[in-house]
């Protein structure tokens, strides 16, 4: 995915230490130390990144899909995190990262997906999610209870989460 700024979205090369460090650096600055660990980025989730022409990473998205136990053959995608370096915001990067993750989840067969937005950032990103077909459905009080938080302090998060759900257009039956 390319744009007028010449940055592009691609899959993280988990074997490239500078790319993994770029994601970790953005994570620590946006969410605080230890919000994500290296294993989440390289093993537990798929990771899409935005690279500048210089190769520097300026944003990322973590996502994964899994089949539900209740309904075999039915899968759910989860967008865990989207983060963009503060110097690169307001350029459409978060939108392209969300589109990338949604396209990848659709390719994997996951037509239904959701994300839990941090209520402190909801005003910043809710429009991005709404434009891609996501809608808020539920508030999770103190969702990150006792986790590290750049606003509440170490092991003291009292922030709420807001669930946003999405259903791919391909799953809507034509009558």
Could you list the residue range(s) of the whole structural domain that residue 96 is in? Answer: 8-171
Q: Is residue 148 part of a domain?
A: yes
Q: Who wins on pLDDT, 112 or 8?
A: 8
**Number of domains into which the chain is organized:** 1
**What digits encode the pLDDT tens for the residues 25-42?**
999 888 877 778 889 899
Q: Is residue 102 part of a domain?
A: yes
Q: Is residue 25 part of a domain?
A: yes
Q: Is residue 64 part of a domain?
A: yes
Q: Is residue 104 part of a domain?
A: yes
Query: Which is nearest to 79 in space by CA: 33, 45, 51, 29?
Result: 45
Q: Is residue 2 part of a domain?
A: no
Q: Is residue 3 part of a domain?
A: no
Query: Which is nearest to 128 in space by CA: 175, 84, 94?
Result: 94
Q: Is residue 1 part of a domain?
A: no
Query: Which is nearest to 118 in space by CA: 89, 81, 64?
Result: 81
Cα torsion through 26, 113, 118, 7, rounded to 10: 30
Cα torsion through 128, 110, 31, 39, rounded to 10: -160
Q: Domain holding 65: CATH number?
A: 3.40.630.30
For the entire predicted model, the pTM comes to: 0.80
d(CA 78, CA 139): 17
**What digits encode the pLDDT tens for the residues 62-94?**
999 887 666 666 778 888 889 999 888 888 999
């Amino acid at each position: 995915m390319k744009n007028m700024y010449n940055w592009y979205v691609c899959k993280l090369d988990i074997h490239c230490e500078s790319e993994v460090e770029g994601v970790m650096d953005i994570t620590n600055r946006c969410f605080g130390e230890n919000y994500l660990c290296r294993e989440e980025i390289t093993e537990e989730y798929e990771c899409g990144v935005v690279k500048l022409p210089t190769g520097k990473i300026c944003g990322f998205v973590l996502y994964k899909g899994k089949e539900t136990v209740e309904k075999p053959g039915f899968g759910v995608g989860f967008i865990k995190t989207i983060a963009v370096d503060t110097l690169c915001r307001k350029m459409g990067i978060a939108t392209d990262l969300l589109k990338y993750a949604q396209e990848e989840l659709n390719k994997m067969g996951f037509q239904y997906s959701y994300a839990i937005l941090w209520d402190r950032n909801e005003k910043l990103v809710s429009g991005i999610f709404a434009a891609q077909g996501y809608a808020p459905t539920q508030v999770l009080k103190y969702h990150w209870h006792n986790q590290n938080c750049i606003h509440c302090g170490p092991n003291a998060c009292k922030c709420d989460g807001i669930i946003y759900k999405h259903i791919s257009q391909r799953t809507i039956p034509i009558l």
